[in-house]
Structure 1
Amino acid sequence: MRIVLAEDNDILRKSLSFFLESKGFTVDQFSDGQEALDAIKENSYDLILTDINMPGGSGMEITQYVRETIGSNIPIIIFTSSGIEQTELDSFDIGANEFIAKPVSPAVLLVRINKLLNSQIK
């Protein structure tokens, strides 16, 4: 399983990547939204994990590109430190599957990833 992890917080990105790789996932890390978008355009992924606010492009832009431009139903989980309800509603409106407030618990993230990936298989 290959994952895009787009998160501009270096510590969070590296710790989540280390955790997910220890669980058998292949993780491509990006600290910039545009770099993540470029990778999505060129590669095939099973899951996208993205922060909502990043330099180069937001998680909303990534989600919108995946859903509208390439018409993919790849599972997308958005992270944010914003506690604003409207942000969460907007994320779901444009096609995000899950929304997780920071700080992100790796154990909770893993449960949500497995739930999404298992629902894709059925």
Structure 2
Amino acid sequence: MRVLIVEDDPVHAKSAARVVEPLGHEIVEVSDGEQAVRLLRSEPFDLVIVDWLLPRMTGFELLYWIRRTLGASPAVLFVTSKSLEDDVVLAMEAGADDYLVKPFRVAELVSRVNALLRRATRGNEHGGLICAGEYVLDSVERTVSLRGQRIELTPKEFDLIAFFFNNLGKLLSRKVVSISTWGRELDPASRTLDTHIYRVRQKLALAPENGLRLSSVYTHGYRLEAVPARTLHPTAPSHHSPAQPMQAAQWAPAGLAYE
């Protein structure tokens, strides 16, 4: 397995390398995010170990680039001195696979690296595909299909829905969604996020009959969740009035707010 260490402090970089290399993995070290991007564009890696505080490009910005450009792989492990709970939550919700605060313990780093690489191996067996409900998202080809039919999406719409697919079932704040999709927190008065949410709901036909629902949770954010398809049970017509067709509005899932 190939591991990229992105750390501007040579002492910390060597410390991490000395722990990971004996596990039998190939190690490549770079000192900033821009060097990491150049490498990741041209070479495959299974795991990126990254510090948050880097020159020219922060570790969080590198995480954003990886998830937007490369999808769910490689795995990303933050090893950083930023220890506030808000920082940890922000990184994990934005797509980090794990988070370790410096100074790390050798046994703990070994355990985290092994777990992430085992997970990466299982993910590679599926070729970057995420199956949810009646949908298949291909993070390599950057496509989404519903029952085998490809859905046309803009690059930004794909970035947005891919982030939800990678966090299925999680409640995601507007801040995390905007940073992970646009690389920055959007102005609170902007309707950009709402517009994109509306478009992906419409294009993907996200509804229980297709196995997924994208819900707005007031003041909190959004959640894409798997739901059982509804089964329509025909009712015998009344002797007093003809059977009425099911109205489209009856199929609208509860709590689904179109903005």
Common fold: TM-score over 0.5 = yes
Q: 1:48 maps to which residue?
A: 48
Shift of 1:28: 0.6
Q: 1:59 maps to which residue?
A: 59
Q: 1:7 maps to which residue?
A: 7
Shift of 1:72: 3.5
Q: 2:117 maps to which residue?
A: 117
For structure 2, the residue ranges without an aligned partner over 5 or more in a row are: 123-259
State the TM-score, normalized to the length of structure 1: 0.92
| SS at 2:34 equivalent | helix
Q: 1:16 maps to which residue?
A: 16
RMSD across aligned positions (CA)? 1.3
Shift of 1:19: 2.4
Name whichever structure is richer in helix by fraction. Answer: 1
CA distance in 1, matches of 2:8, 2:107: 21
Q: 2:99 maps to which residue?
A: 99
CA distance in 2, matches of 1:4, 1:99: 16
Q: Deviations over 1:62-120 (max 9, x none)?
A: 11111112224321101221221111111012100001000022221110111112223
CA distance in 2, matches of 1:24, 1:73: 20
Q: Deviations over 1:28-58 (max 9, x none)?
A: 1011111111111111001010001101211
| SS at 2:48 equivalent | strand
The amino acid across from 1:92 in the alignment is: M
Q: Which has the higher contact order (CA 8 A, sep 6+)?
A: 1
Identity of aligned residues (%): 28
| SS at 2:28 equivalent | strand
Segment of structure 1 superposing worse, 68-77 or 90-99 = 68-77
8 Å contact 2:19–2:110 — kept in the other structure?
no
The amino acid across from 2:110 in the alignment is: L
Q: 2:36 maps to which residue?
A: 36
Q: Deviations over 1:5-36 (max 9, x none)?
A: 00111111012112222221111101111111
CA distance in 1, matches of 2:25, 2:7: 17
CA distance in 2, matches of 1:72, 1:64: 11
